[in-house]
Amino acid sequence: MAAVGLLVGGASGAVFVGPMVAKKMGKATPVLMAAGAHNPDGEADGGGAAADAEHAPSEGQQQESERAESAAVHLLENLVLNPAGSGGGRFLLLSVAIDVGNAKAGEAFKNRDAELRDIILTALGTKSVDELTEISRRDQYKQELLDAVNARFGKQAVKRLYFPQFVVQ
């Protein structure tokens, strides 16, 4: 009896609740096939032109897609540098997440990854261990990096910058 309840509850959730949640999250939901409709290959068909119209992106979906592109994040992981004045005895291990300002900048970041890494390592490599361990200065470093990257890749290439990993040893 419990198994039947779980089966009915799961099926109800998949058919009714799942598409509503997916729609709110901006995900496309599969088109339910019309019973008895077949395409020339003998497979069930979603209704031909009606199904095509449902799959064509609306103006709202296009704007949402453009927002998603501009909301891309370029992640640079496991950057390692020796802070200024450390004599090689200390190091900074960090990851930088860049909130990409536009699709063109995102492509440039992918194609010029080594240059982007160099900008970050050069800017932070001038800081001492004491400066890097001072948490109150992290926002200042983010702004410095944002300005340096925008100077090289164009205005508004970076919206925001994050340090998901920042470890001084």
Note the pLDDT tens digit of each residue in 23-58. 544 444 444 444 444 444 444 444 444 444 455 555
Residue 114 has pLDDT above 70, yes or no: yes
Higher pLDDT, 102 or 4: 102
Average confidence score pLDDT of the chain: 75
What is the structure's pLDDT at 18? 47
**Cα–Cα dist 41/50, whole Å:** 18
Binning pLDDT at 50, 70 and 90, where does residue 12 land? very low
Contact 160, 99 (CB under 8 A): yes
What is the structure's pLDDT at 49? 47
**Residue at 127: amino acid letter:** K
Task: Tell me what the mean pLDDT of segment 140-165 comes to.
Answer: 95
What is the structure's pLDDT at 33? 40
* CA–centroid distance for 168 within its chain: 26
Q: Which CATH architecture best describes the domain 71-168?
A: 2-Layer Sandwich (3.30)
What is the structure's pLDDT at 112? 96
In the chain, ranges of CATH 3.30.479.30 domains: 71-168
